[in-house]
Structure 1
Amino acid sequence: MGLIRNYFDPAIQYDPWTKADRTLWKQADFTAARADSRDPAVYGDANGQIRMSKYGTIVGLGQPREVTSDNSFRFVIGMTIPSGTRYRTTEPSTARICNSNGFDGVRGTGGAWSTITSNAHVGANCSVQISYIPATFYLPVAAPAPTGYNSNDVNRPIIANACGPGCNMRRYQILKSNYLTTTDFNNASNNFANWFQYHRNRILSIIGSESRTLANVDNMRVGYFTINNRKQPIMYDIGDDTSRKTLFEQIYHLIPLGGTPNRVAIEYLGQQFRRTDFGAPVLRACQKNGGMLFTDGYTNPNAQASPNVPSATYGNADSTGTVNFPALPFADGYSETIADIAASYYSGVNTPLVTGQGFTGGLVPVDEKCATLDKTSADWKRLDCQKDLHMNFYAITLGAQGSIYEVNQAATRDPYANAPNWNADGDPLVNDDGRVIDELWHATINSRGQFINAKSPNEVTAAMRRVLSAASAANSPSGTLALTGARIGAGSLTVTPEYQISNNGTDWSSKLKANQVSVDPDTREARFTPLWEASAQMPAASARNVYFNDGSNVRKFDGTSISLSGLCGLSATLYPSQSLCSQSDLTSLGATAATAANYLLGDRSGEVQQGGKFRDRSTVLGDIVNSTPVISAPVDDYGYRGLGGTLGTSYTDYLNSKRNKAYMVYAGANDGMLHAVDGGIDSTGAVTGGGGRERFAYVPATSYGHMGNLLLPYQVNKSSTLPNFDHRYFVDGPIAVGDTYYNNAWQTTLVGTTGAGGRGVFALDVTNPASFGASSRLWEINDLSGDATVRANIGHVLGKPVIVPVRAANGTVSWKAIFGNGYASASGKAVLFVVDIGTSSTPTIHMIEATEPAGTTAATKISGNNGLGNLIVLDRIDNLTIDPTTNKPARTRDGYADTVYAADLRGAIWKFDLTSTATSVTVPAFTTGTYSEGGLNYRQPITGGLQAASGENGGVLVLFGTGSFSFDKDNQASSALQTQSLYGFTDKVDGVISTTLTRANLTPFSVSSGTSGTTRSLQQGNAPSTSLGWYVDLPAGERFVGYPELVSGILFMPTYAPLAISSGCSTDGVNWLFGLNPRTGVGALSGVRMGGIGGSTLANGSAGISLNTGGNAPVKDVGVSVVPRLEPKVNPKDGSAAPTVPPGSGCWMIVSVAGAAPMYVPYPCGRQSWRQLQ
């Protein structure tokens, strides 16, 4: 006799179903549980009478239930009705029933209730009414009693032959008298009631599992149909609240109906992915597609009746001998099977699923091992290496068993290595028994999906989550990471953004997630505890504190201060490539200044999904793509106490005063705003209220002028005269925050950039975020400026600004914002901006142009527009102290910035002297390698960040990489043929550069991949006689666009290779992380522990590892945290101190990067100090 595997298990917690808003249905009542929790007044339909009877059935689960004549128990030959059973029959007491074949059965009761005094053996099939306690379950005799249950034999008697001849079990009944405490009884009774009402049968269990799983998914489009009612499903974007709710309502309507036409249902499932109508499931050429079937595992035979016969013929699709279907474990000797149908939608006549314009073949991302593994190996066969659009098929059954599945354990465990003998099952078309379970399993293998045989609601949920994870195209991590100060302790916080694109590319939204970081006292490893998610905490539109620059003044953003013309007022001359809205466009949508302002502030009532005309949004928070969030902590110390004098002492006072202020997180988003979000913890690390809640937002002038485009909805009617929504960037650049001194007081200042969203940089006073107002905007520099030189030189600033103090030759100290002018400026030049932080709304700006003499021949002339990007600022000299031996400023640090190294788009590293009044430099410190394209010469561009370290003989070791992924041409095939590099060179020159270093001065390295395809090493080339550094040539198409990080003598540099761009997809984009010795360039990852202090290490010479982010965005940031030194523990027995921790132990740094487990880097214990200018 088999056990009912999905019956109540006291070891499992059963919860009510999950709603679309992630709350739960009402807890079931143990004294009055419903056979079905769905009110037919809400969920009724043509089959409502089925549900009506169940909804109206109220069951007291802890009371004896007297079954009526309409609900008798059916006993079959060979069963035993145990002694003590209370029963009733309609036959008279003189008659015997259930008796035959030598068995006496039981005596009739004439409608009265009676008790059996000895075991009654059933000799003939019969129906008997039984009195029973519904809250009854059975466990093996040796199993321990559930929590709180009285474990004596009286309360849990042994029932002989309960699970078949010779198989005894203990009976448990959830009665108050059987539990040791009222709390234990209440917990048990509530759990059983929830199982009974929400998970008791397959239909209820599926509803529970589907709702529970989908409630935590935000990045998928999901369609839904039943196999007996195959209507073309609507694809719901479940990142959208309204769509999610509609989908959930459909799920709640599920009822059992009809047979099990699985063959035709799976064909219909595959056909959905071939649709090309509006709302079709497949939108992109790189899209992954999953079809999931819930079934009892059986299939109605292929009778001639058309409802059970597929509409097409498929032949023996899995025995074609193609690359995707080698003989084992795919082939069988039968045709038209479910396995053949699934095969045809994976790699056969029905693939690619969609073709034509915009659906180039071969762009679905696959595991990189597909290219390296032997295609006859089991490891290759289990991978999904199909790069054309296809369907992965998944089947979920509840406790089923096949003829092979769960019988042949080796094949069940790994069918790719231990191929099942499908032909031994016979023809699946004529079998409707356990062999059909094998056919479903076979179909999932053919399509590289998964077969899940779940035995409980929790297993179904876990299975669905695995399926969704495999089928999901995933949110794109923005490749960014924000952390508080390096040392993990009270107040350590990390913040990571992710963005998603939905609704035909018109809904770009973000989530901003924070985790509190602590150290496990035993393992010394970092623990990350979720703290908040900002998009879910956005204040109501009327409660937000948002200010904007209208080009002339800073004003409160509301319906009285904005205008429709202002929202569409950005100059088409300045931004010719952007499709801009007009006032008439907004008017045609019915917009007014008030409704437009409310919408942009987060009011959802005007969206199309709410019956309005404005664009639908999944979250009010717009997509955060290139703006790395910055955390400003009340304990941030920028080292200015070391300046001495009044500045030093007053900074000490300022540090003390700001300790009572809130943690803040700042991030730019493409909803037009710089967002200031409450960090949710105080300086002691205690969690406070309001975490994730926006405190204020700022709209720069370049954003305000095209925010009207955010209202434009997706246009189904392509002939509409209204422009369609076109995604664009707004506040998309880097941010810097630092303490500054101006107007005779210390402040905290934010300098932000609009990045790809506009040519602009702005400064805000964020000393008191709670009181942010119009006067908190210090200044703004943009291409709308009245200064013609500023207007010509300012570009899209993609490099991170730096906030530092600078001391002039006369001793005057002022805080500056220093940044490169960016790209695509009107002048096309590379210019360093040095801006006084606190002078006025029209700040003092010193611009220094970096310009090389033009080449005199075609071979020496470097082409392309220019712009200055990332930079690093150093304190190298004391410009007020002259070294008598050199008659130059002394090479000693005085706490003030004096030297800048900056990179330009033409591949030059420039060195600037901040103590000089010069307005130009003409000789680069270094230039990268050159290449030719279209008859013109170019150098490797530098758009990523820079690092600096101490070089030989007091020189500066400058570290960076080349490559770009910021411009249209970066997506073209030609960029995939170019070679980019990682570099480290030493500048030994004090003062002005007179000779430029090149690759010829450096030691070359090339990259070799390990046999696993997930690690890399380096091969050294011929070094020059006097090497001043190194370079690593990356594989073709790979590039560096992130920020290098130095950690305990290892230089970490993330790289990115976008291999194809098509139909809205950046497919096959892969990220790598290099770990190099900064002085020599050799691989330095062998000493790193992967995943934990006790984790594995890499081989000697390892230089790089692959990153698996689940998305296609480039990884840019490397986070670093310091684990506090392991302190001696107290002996728990007597309170004495444990032995002293040996010197040099317990000191670790944690390297965090998207797509990799945390990496632990040891460093020598002891005081660690350095001065870094931000």
Structure 2
Amino acid sequence: MAVALALASSPGHGVVDLPTAPLQSAAAIPSNILFLLDDSGSMQFEMMPEDLIIFSDAKYFYPVGRPVIVYLFPPPNNQYNGLNYSAAIPAFDDQSYHNFFRRSSANNNIFYDPTITYTPWVRHDGSSYGNASATAAYYNPANTGAGTLNLTTEKTNVNSTLWIKGTTPGDYSLCSTYACQSYWPITFYMYKGTGDRALASSYVKYQIQGATGYRTDLNGGTPSAVSSFNWGSVTRTVAEETQNFANWFSYYRSRAHAAKAGASIAFAKLGTNYRVGFSTINTASLGNVIPTSGTFDGTNRQNWFNALLGAPIPPQGTPLKESLSRAGDYFSRTDDSGPYGPAPQLSCRRNFTILTTDGYYNEPAVPLSFGNEDNTAGSTITGPGSQSYQYVPSRPYQDSYTGSLADIAMYYWRRDLRTDLTNNIRTTSTNPSFWQNMSTFTLSLGPQGTLTPPPKTPNDLAALTSGSKVWPDPATGEAKKIDDLWHASVNGRGTFVAAKNPTEFAEGLVSALNTIGESGGAWNVALTSSTVETDGRVFVARYDGSWGGDLWAVAYNATGNMNTTADGTPIPVWKASTQLPAAADRKIFTWKDNGGGGIAFTYNNLSNAKQTAIGSSDVVDFVRGVTSKSVASGGTLRNRSSLLGDIANPAPVYVKASNTVFAPANDGMLHAFNAATGAEVFAYIPGGVNFADLKAFSSPTYSHKFINDGEIAVSDLAATGKNILVGSLGRGGKTVYALDVTNPASFGTNNVMWEFTDTDLGQALGKPVIVKLNTGDWAVLIGNGYNSSTEKAFLFVINLNTGALIKKIATGVGSSTSSNGLATPVGFDQNGDGKLDLAYAGDLLGNFWKFDLTGASSAWTATSMFVAKDASNNVQPITGGLSIAIDPKTNKRWIFGGTGRYLSNSDVSSTAVQSWYGLIDDGTVISSRASLTQRTLSAASAQGSYLTRTFSVASANDMVGKKGWYADLTPASVASGERIVSRSQYSAGVLYVSSIVPSSDVCASGGSGFVNAVDAFSGASLTKPFFDINNDKLFTDADKKLEGGRLLPAGSIRTTGMIGEINVKKISGDQSTAQSCDTTGACKALPNLNLRALSGRISWREIVTE
């Protein structure tokens, strides 16, 4: 008897423009980030913290009372594009307290610290401003007109400068003349670690005079020349120390310079998939502060960096409350030029404000109208489905004070700022908001509060949450305003850093941006893959908005469905991302370019070309899972939410013989996991991977790329004597590879079998099929996919054991203007001898191809048995797999397939009519759909808790003389963009398939879908219910609906998202549970299915269980 050899699924015009990120992902929507720089006058100060600053009662006008001490070098006019403070400069007198105390990094957190290597500001393109010139160091590199200072020569007769020479903290005596002081600029004092800091004897003076360095112990010592400086972990020559000081002088000398340095370095590491605005806290109107055209690259990025580095710092106050309120009002705007624009405005865009300051804020001249917002219940906010949230005052958010900075942050977090938009923002583990609001991140440079915030340990967050501590009243002390700054970040679900120095400020800003980056969205499940099922468990592939991946093992519960939370989130038995060995212990292999075979994946093992492409051994280590060089650890490489790459499209494959799950990921690797524990057993990076993409994968500016995204198949151990895994790179490249995975635990270089490429092999998105040929050889069948050199469709037949090409069967169809490619093939054994005779596959130009492989390979042929076209003669592409079944009544062979494509961005909005076909293969060509019987779909309507549709009923003899049937996916004759991109499944006379309806709303995580079921051999409505609509575990008339005056079974049921794979599990009698994971990441039960002939378990894909 003839049997189907393989059932599989896979996910024209010119070139097929495959996007670089999953079409179904809403996580790529760029978030809004508003950076608010403190431009208060204190940012000019060259000292920190505040107790080093001496201000007269008249602020910057001297003399009134004590002198103003805010600078350590005589300032030029207009150095910050605004007025300077009239201030006295501490004289460079070794016995002057105001000199040695303020020019020591032990006391002045912003002064030159030789243990730090100071790097220049960074431009928009990541390039450096360049080392400062020691002989002409700019006072302000962004305002070169302010002039330079030669740091290598002695300064004498400095006019228009008051010098303070007091020898004790309270002594503010001045030099009698402007010209009383001469000095060498490169002078700094190192505290010895013991002794009174107010005494000169507790310090060692270091000074560079021209090209000579000197060291002087101020406890009676005399200057001694030094040729180098040793600071423990850092040793420098005099020239190197001079350069480091010059960089500090030009780029870090003041609070403003240090803040700009930290911000430029941090934002240079930020990826491009954001929309970033810049403003200062004293800017009265934000205007269109965040560009609505483009993302954080090109001109937008350059303009932002120019605004940051060129921001003027005039003498003015610190209006943090007004600034944060303006930010919240900006994120409430409804116009198309606002934060949700341009039209159509996007409802799923997150908003983040980063508020920076160097000190204590001023109260508004006109009080703001905020109440005790964090101690007041908010309105109930609802979202799609059952989402609902109401802020109820609780710790650690609430306090007893009114109108604080924390109240402003809470006001704009708990309120729905755009009630006219759908509340469909993705939640995160730290931010439950799904409505349009503002998250607040805060950073202080210098001042500390009375409480200890994270990430310091121990900290006071737990005490504030338990109630053993309470937030202090910010009106009762300046330090408590810093606590209020932290409180604002808690209420705004952001983070806070109280930085003591520029290094901590830069690190805090990097941390804030990392947190924002990790808020890209919840987990997603790929449309065409997601799950594979075996005894008692389902393996679910997932990825997140920052392109981290995972594989979860999920058990079944007592009802036969997957264990999930109420919202459909799977409850994993294990997560592969948490089971990875240490980077050095991972067994990772790759292809050897010279001579073939396998090699360990190390930098030194790579060919010269691949070393050049990947860039460095640090990138190799990054791919292996080393995190020490990440931005979060002070390095330059990307932070990762998971050490696995995203598993976006391919289905995982379970091999029962070794109890192993295999899954390709876009970290370039094919991963093998122990199915019992989730531990990675080994990984393999095919040689065809673009190693330059792996370099990009490590960059902080990484935008998603498909690297290893192809389907895989594994041969049957009993049939072939080995488990041989065959895979392609899919969207990531044009290579097919094979591995001997019979014994995964002992996998080594000798188990890497072969790699194959060909000019007519494109990006093969279909699954390989492993078959036995009539010659007795085992072979791999694979469709050539898309974007091959000739744009034609080919079926490749490759020797399984050697990788040698047996035959590429040309269809001759396709061209540069009408691009074509073959999807997943399915094989058929027509005489029951266990050997392949025929293969079928569809292409982009609507052909149902039949390949005859019965004779010698030289005689193998391809015939188009039917071309799918709609009623207007438009070609209907076939991108999913075909299926085969034999009608038990007539013994006729039927070929089933649906049409539609979901490959390119332009496909999303297409409303072209697509169809579902059942064709009889009797050896003749079907000339047109006129030879087929038409079936129709009703519009969806409510049936119980579901939306269902019905298929038309067969009439007597309406299949007589016909070559099959078709059903246009146009319910009630309306084309909505519905299409089929996976294969149909057959069981006991029932044919069922998933269809999808993509949404052009990029916030919708893809769209919606249907599960459809018909009589396989007529395409008409089933006579008995297939779906248990009322969930009573029976299939009766109660599961039917009245349609056109007739009681009909539901033939189609709507799913909440575009579904991935459906897992079907027989539980008893006619009952089989069904569950699908959709593109939102939720896995939800469908009504039980009436699959009375089902034995064991099936899913949308062929599963290798040997």
Cα displacement string for residues 355-397 of structure 1 (whole angstroms, at most 9, x for unaligned residues): xxxxxxxx98699xxxxxxxxxxxxxxxxxxxxx972699xxx
**1:963–1:525 Cα change, 3 Å:** closer
Match of 1:672 among 661, 668, 690: 668
**Structure with the larger RCO, 1 or 2 (CA within 8 Å, 6+ apart):** 2
2:643 matches 1:620: yes
Q: How many residues align?
A: 635
What percentage of aligned pairs have identical amino acids? 26
**1:761–1:272 Cα change, 3 Å:** same
Report SS of the residue matched to 2:864: coil
Report SS of the residue matched to 1:1157: strand
Match of 1:512 among 541, 551, 554: 551
Letter in 2 for 1:493: R
Letter in 2 for 1:763: A
**1:602–1:564 Cα change, 3 Å:** farther
- Aligned-pair distance for 1:512? 1.3
- Aligned-pair distance for 1:1039? 1.6
Where do 5+ consecutive residues of structure 1 fail to align? 1-44, 47-219, 224-231, 235-260, 293-302, 312-323, 325-336, 353-362, 368-388, 395-467, 503-507, 570-582, 587-591, 635-660, 681-690, 716-724, 783-790, 855-860, 878-892, 1126-1144
Q: For residue 875 of structure 1, what is the aligned residue in structure 2?
A: 829
2:770 matches 1:780: no
2:1039 matches 1:1106: no
Letter in 1 for 2:1019: G
Contact 1:670-1:731 at 8 Å conserved across structures: yes
2:1096 matches 1:1121: no
**Partner Cα separation in structure 2 for residue 366 and residue 1102 of structure 1:** 33
Residue pairs, 1:210-609, within 5 angstroms: 269=328, 271-272=330-331, 286-288=346-348, 306-309=366-369, 346-347=417-418, 391=436, 474-480=522-528, 491-502=535-546, 508-517=547-556, 520=558, 530-552=572-594, 553=596, 554-562=598-606, 565-566=609-610, 569=613, 586=615, 592=616, 594-609=617-632
**Partner Cα separation in structure 2 for residue 796 and residue 1041 of structure 1:** 17
Contact 1:1073-1:1106 at 8 Å conserved across structures: yes
**Partner Cα separation in structure 1 for residue 876 and residue 1094 of structure 2:** 41
**Partner Cα separation in structure 1 for residue 780 and residue 574 of structure 2:** 32
2:977 matches 1:1037: yes
**Partner Cα separation in structure 1 for residue 1039 and residue 976 of structure 2:** 28
**Partner Cα separation in structure 2 for residue 982 and residue 1165 of structure 1:** 23
Match of 1:986 among 920, 935, 945: 920
Contact 2:666-2:706 at 8 Å conserved across structures: yes
**Partner Cα separation in structure 1 for residue 671 and residue 830 of structure 2:** 35
Contact 1:485-1:1121 at 8 Å conserved across structures: no
Q: For residue 799 of structure 1, what is the aligned residue in structure 2?
A: 766
- Aligned-pair distance for 1:478? 1.2
2:890 matches 1:953: yes
- Aligned-pair distance for 1:1011? 4.5
Cα displacement string for residues 1030-1056 of structure 1 (whole angstroms, at most 9, x for unaligned residues): 222123322211232234543232222
Contact 1:830-1:867 at 8 Å conserved across structures: yes
- Aligned-pair distance for 1:566? 0.8
**1:1098–1:760 Cα change, 3 Å:** farther
**Partner Cα separation in structure 1 for residue 346 and residue 989 of structure 2:** 40
**Partner Cα separation in structure 2 for residue 915 and residue 595 of structure 1:** 52
Report SS of the residue matched to 1:1014: strand
Cα displacement string for residues 468-502 of structure 1 (whole angstroms, at most 9, x for unaligned residues): 9xx9954221135566667xxxx432111121223
- Aligned-pair distance for 1:664? 0.7
**1:996–1:1118 Cα change, 3 Å:** farther
Contact 2:530-2:652 at 8 Å conserved across structures: yes
Contact 1:1003-1:1021 at 8 Å conserved across structures: no
Q: For residue 760 of structure 1, what is the aligned residue in structure 2?
A: 735
Compare 914-923 and 493-502 and name the one that shifted more.
Answer: 914-923
Q: For residue 643 of structure 1, what is the aligned residue in structure 2?
A: none
Contact 1:288-1:473 at 8 Å conserved across structures: no
Q: For residue 826 of structure 1, what is the aligned residue in structure 2?
A: 789
Report SS of the residue matched to 1:953: coil
Contact 1:549-1:699 at 8 Å conserved across structures: yes
Residue pairs, 1:145-164, within 5 angstroms: none
- Aligned-pair distance for 1:562? 2.5
**1:1122–1:266 Cα change, 3 Å:** farther
Contact 1:912-1:921 at 8 Å conserved across structures: yes
- Aligned-pair distance for 1:929? 0.8
**1:1165–1:950 Cα change, 3 Å:** closer
2:1088 matches 1:1160: yes
2:787 matches 1:847: no
- Aligned-pair distance for 1:820? 1.0
- Aligned-pair distance for 1:1058? 2.2
Contact 2:932-2:966 at 8 Å conserved across structures: no
**Partner Cα separation in structure 2 for residue 778 and residue 894 of structure 1:** 28
Contact 1:1052-1:1118 at 8 Å conserved across structures: no
**Partner Cα separation in structure 1 for residue 992 and residue 1077 of structure 2:** 10
Report SS of the residue matched to 2:993: strand
**1:1054–1:556 Cα change, 3 Å:** same
2:951 matches 1:1018: yes
- Aligned-pair distance for 1:902? 0.9
**1:1078–1:262 Cα change, 3 Å:** farther
Cα displacement string for residues 31-51 of structure 1 (whole angstroms, at most 9, x for unaligned residues): xxxxxxxxxxxxxx99xxxxx
Cα displacement string for residues 679-704 of structure 1 (whole angstroms, at most 9, x for unaligned residues): 01xxxxxxxxxx11111111112214
**1:919–1:793 Cα change, 3 Å:** farther
**Partner Cα separation in structure 2 for residue 1172 and residue 340 of structure 1:** 53
Cα RMSD after superposing both structures = 5.1
Contact 1:1149-1:1161 at 8 Å conserved across structures: yes
- Aligned-pair distance for 1:666? 0.7
- Aligned-pair distance for 1:1149? 5.4
**Partner Cα separation in structure 2 for residue 761 and residue 901 of structure 1:** 20
- Aligned-pair distance for 1:1003? 2.0
Q: For residue 172 of structure 1, what is the aligned residue in structure 2?
A: none
Report SS of the residue matched to 1:747: coil
TM-score, structure 1 as length reference: 0.48
Match of 1:1009 among 931, 940, 956: 940
Letter in 2 for 1:1028: K
Q: For residue 714 of structure 2, what is the aligned residue in structure 1?
A: 737
Report SS of the residue matched to 1:535: helix
Contact 1:862-1:938 at 8 Å conserved across structures: no
**Partner Cα separation in structure 2 for residue 366 and residue 712 of structure 1:** 27
**Partner Cα separation in structure 2 for residue 921 and residue 872 of structure 1:** 15
- Aligned-pair distance for 1:1105? 1.9
Match of 1:1073 among 996, 1004, 1011: 1011
Letter in 1 for 2:705: R
- Aligned-pair distance for 1:1072? 2.2
Cα displacement string for residues 488-541 of structure 1 (whole angstroms, at most 9, x for unaligned residues): xxx432111121223xxxxx11121111336x3xx6667677311111212211
Letter in 2 for 1:496: V
**1:266–1:288 Cα change, 3 Å:** farther
Report SS of the residue matched to 2:1054: strand
Q: For residue 911 of structure 1, what is the aligned residue in structure 2?
A: 850
**1:1166–1:941 Cα change, 3 Å:** closer
Letter in 2 for 1:979: V
- Aligned-pair distance for 1:843? 1.9
Contact 2:630-2:637 at 8 Å conserved across structures: yes
Report SS of the residue matched to 1:566: helix
Letter in 2 for 1:673: M
2:820 matches 1:866: yes
Q: For residue 147 of structure 2, what is the aligned residue in structure 1?
A: none
Q: For residue 1020 of structure 2, what is the aligned residue in structure 1?
A: 1082
**1:1153–1:613 Cα change, 3 Å:** closer
- Aligned-pair distance for 1:677? 0.9
Contact 1:804-1:897 at 8 Å conserved across structures: yes
Cα displacement string for residues 28-69 of structure 1 (whole angstroms, at most 9, x for unaligned residues): xxxxxxxxxxxxxxxxx99xxxxxxxxxxxxxxxxxxxxxxx
TM-score, structure 2 as length reference: 0.50
Letter in 2 for 1:693: A
**Partner Cα separation in structure 2 for residue 1004 and residue 960 of structure 1:** 15
Report SS of the residue matched to 2:620: helix
**1:564–1:847 Cα change, 3 Å:** closer
**1:1173–1:268 Cα change, 3 Å:** closer
